Amino acid sequence: MQIVYWILVFLTTFFIMEFMAWFTHKYIMHGFLWVLHKDHHMKDHDSWFERNDAFFLFYAIVSMSCFYIWSYEGVWWCLPIGLGIMAYGATYFMVHDIFIHQRFKMFRNANNWYARGVRRAHKIHHKHLGKRDSENFGMLIVPIKYFRK
């Protein structure tokens, strides 16, 4: 029965991370930490890396802390939470950095209805270059209107 709980905690964590990504993006990245996120919207740098890449460190530290607590303190639910955060981070990297922004030239030919909708929503998000007036802060869950075109 514990495997069922483990899977539920993992999946719940993964889906909560979509909300956390939306919240962090809207209120922190486009808020008081815009100074780190700005170079992601305005490509005025020559480096492959962006200051925006620093945001992954926060969730990586949270995930690794969960692994530590599970390993050394024996708190069973910390493992599926840590893995859920890590799985969302890997998914975010594949969808956002590889698929949408093509930081690695992979998934170029993905053209199904979901891929087109996510790509459209993100394109509209990047249409706004400033801190304010942006929309579509989520990554995997976007408004249905972007799937209708």
Tokens of 142: 């976007």
- Judge if pTM exceeds 0.85: yes
Please report, for the chain, the start and end positions of each structural domain, with discontinuous segments joined by +. Answer: 2-41+54-109
Query: What per-residue confidence (pLDDT) applies to 117?
Result: 82
Residue type at position 41: H
Tokens of 134: 């942006």
| CA dist 116 → 18, 47, 109 (Å) | 19, 28, 11
Of 48, 26, 47, 50, residue with least CA distance to 36: 50
Q: How many CB atoms lie within 10 A of CB 147?
A: 14
Per-residue pLDDT of the chain in tens (149 residues, 90 and over written 9): 789 999 999 999 999 999 999 999 889 888 888 887 777 777 776 666 777 778 889 999 999 999 999 999 999 999 999 999 999 999 998 987 888 777 778 777 778 888 888 888 777 777 766 667 776 677 888 888 877 86
